Amino acid sequence: MKNNLELKFLIVSARVRYWEDTIINDLEDTHGNLVSCREGDSWSPIIDLDSGKIVNWDEGTVADIHYKVCDEGEYWLADANKNKILKYAGDYVPDSLLCIGDRGYGDYIIMKINEKGLIIGWNKPEIDLSNWMDIS
């Protein structure tokens, strides 16, 4: 693994099993049609590690995210140009990065997102590099 990594973003591609467990702008998102960052059957936000801002979020959208993912997600740490540098080595959701204010037990992404795309309660995470594989 390289020394002096400058990691800026968390890139997520999480295949969602149950879209209806999420509330978007006070509405149950029964089919996943309301949420920002959806790509096919996956939820794919790009999160600024420093601020907790989802940079590809549709501003004006408020969300209470509760997605069951189990082992159907991929997670990367990227540099300032969004080049993927490290890939999460585990089979489960990295709770410390994607379960803010709750426990997902490796199966859920849980967070609240305000109208600016900021994850409520986000603190810049300490990254345990032993859980990540170098792919650069």
Question: What confidence tens digit (pLDDT) does each residue in 65-94 have?
Answer: 999 997 889 999 999 999 999 999 988 999
Phi, psi of 68 (to 5 degrees): -80, 120
- Residue 110 pLDDT level (bands cut at 50, 70, 90): very high
Q: 133: which strand partners?
A: 87
Residue 132 has pLDDT above 50, yes or no: yes
Is 104 part of any domain?
A: yes
Which amino acid is present at 71?
Answer: D
Q: Are 61 and 25 in contact (CB under 8 A)?
A: yes
Alpha helices in the chain (DSSP H): 95-98
Is 65 part of any domain?
A: yes
Q: Which residues contact 16 (CB under 8 A, 6 or more apart)?
A: 32, 41, 42, 43, 67, 68, 69
Residue 26 has pLDDT above 90, yes or no: yes
Is 31 part of any domain?
A: yes
Among 2-16, 20-34, 57-71, which stretch is predicted with the lowest mean pLDDT? 2-16
Is 35 part of any domain?
A: yes
- Distance between CA 116 and CA 47 in Å, rounded? 13
Residue 3 has pLDDT above 70, yes or no: no
Report how many domains make up the chain. 1
Give the range of the structural domain holding residue 49, as residue numbers without chain letter: 9-131
Residue 4 has pLDDT above 70, yes or no: no
Is 4 part of any domain?
A: no
Q: Averaged over 35-53, what is the pLDDT?
A: 97
Question: pLDDT value at position 89?
Answer: 95
Is 56 part of any domain?
A: yes
Question: pLDDT value at position 72?
Answer: 87
Does pTM surpass 0.75?
A: yes
